Amino acid sequence: MVQFPDEILNEAVGQKVEEKPVEHKRLKRFSRFLRILGPGIVTGAADDDPSGIATYSQAGAQFGFQMPWTMLVTYPLMTAVQEACMRIGAITGKGLAAAVREHYPKKILYPVVGLVVLANTLNIGSDIGAMAASAELLVPALPFPLLAIAFALLIILLEVFISYRTYIRILKWLSMALFAYFITAFLIDVPWLTVLKATFTPRVEWSATYLYIIVAIFGTTISPYLFFWQTSNVVEEEIANHRLPQRGGIPHLTRSYLKRLRIDTAIGMLFSNVTAWFIIIVGAVVLNQAGITTIETAADAARALEPLVHTFPNAGFLAKLIFAIGIIGIGLQSIPVLAGSSAYAVAETFSWREGLYRKFRQSRNFYFVIIFGTLAGLLFNFIGFNPIKALVFTAVFNGIAAVPLIFLIARISSREDVMGEYKSGWLSKLGLWTAFAIMAIFAIALLVSFI
């Protein structure tokens, strides 16, 4: 046996002892970072739902490199709106509809909640349709109606019977399906200088077709359902972490906690907007430059991912497979968010017990809204709409519906009697009112263009 001097052994052992704490600290830091990612990252990932993917793909296909600038504009505006929603939930310990109910008359509350429920139901329907159409690419023997019904039932079972903590964990990992667009962008011949120029130099056309896509982009990025979801989801997290008692009360808040929520929100919105930017670019290069300017079917949209697998046999099928997995994965994530958003809004309006942390028997009305909202959305697929075109139409509807909601969020988050010392500062107000003004201008311009 080889013998080593004691000093060498001691040095080696000492080195290992020193390295272990360093490695442990790094793992601890990374673990802390992952724990930060909660309502914000889930909200951001849910924002790139099938409706978003279809809208961004259509924007790239139809207008080439004219649309990347929208993501540079929507990111700060979206972050401002979602940060205000986060703050309302964290400070009041109540959802957005409950905050509106407490401080505004029913003649304002009911139309607002009705608008978001209608928008969510349309969105659920179009997302279920997109999931079914995508699955049909892989198993054409199965009829579209059967696939749509199966997805709707699966989503209801997931949201009603899985615990909140498990559910939130699932949602985080489903968002990884969107990375297919990141990878594709670096496998195709992207004129990056042209893209960067288009990103930093906005170009607006006052035509009906251009405004339609612009309103759709803003509507699928700054969406009404995200406002209600994020506000109530922060409350859910406060209850889960024992910052807020389940029977209501004043949340136990610290500045470090609010800072963590702000970081989570900023990262979630960044993930959403960067993903959307890549989808637009991939659509512009792969579809627009190949002469495909209108996406009619799921197969058309799937062709954007063919460069990812072009060296493999059966590249067309593989592209459809990756696209279908992405649409189905994100659909499984976003539809529960949409249905949950409606349930929060309705339950808070009528002071019902609500929350995903509750069991079904503890909050039946809340879960019934989720079930009925999903089933109502499912019925939307049996009235003859093209599933892909319905996705973009839903985004446009959201873009119009978001305008009055942002107005209310700006007002509530700035009220000292509601928010106390945490009311909106000048930067938050600037972002909120800018979001309101820009979305209102584009929405009005679109409606005028149809006259």
- For the stretch 230-256, pLDDT in tens is 888 777 776 666 565 554 555 666 677
- For the stretch 346-363, pLDDT in tens is 999 998 988 777 888 888
Domains belonging to the chain, first-starting first, are: 50-449 (1.20.1740.10)
- For the stretch 142-171, pLDDT in tens is 999 999 999 999 989 888 887 756 766 666
Highest mean pLDDT among 205-209, 282-286, 304-308: 282-286
Highest mean pLDDT among 264-268, 345-349, 389-393, 431-435: 431-435
* pLDDT above 90 coverage of the chain, percent: 43
Provide the pLDDT for residue 349.
92
Mean pLDDT of 426-434: 95
More confident: 392 or 259 = 392
Mean pLDDT of 120-143: 92
pTM of the model: 0.84
- For the stretch 363-386, pLDDT in tens is 889 999 999 999 999 998 988 778
Provide the pLDDT for residue 180.
85
Q: Is the dihedral of CA 263, 265, 269, 271 positive or negative?
A: positive
Q: In which band, very low, low, confident or very high, does the pLDDT at 2 lie, cut at 50, 70 and 90? A: very low
- For the stretch 38-62, pLDDT in tens is 554 555 555 567 888 899 999 999 9
Mean pLDDT of 216-229: 90
- CB-facing half-sphere around the CA of 322: CA atoms within 13 A: 23
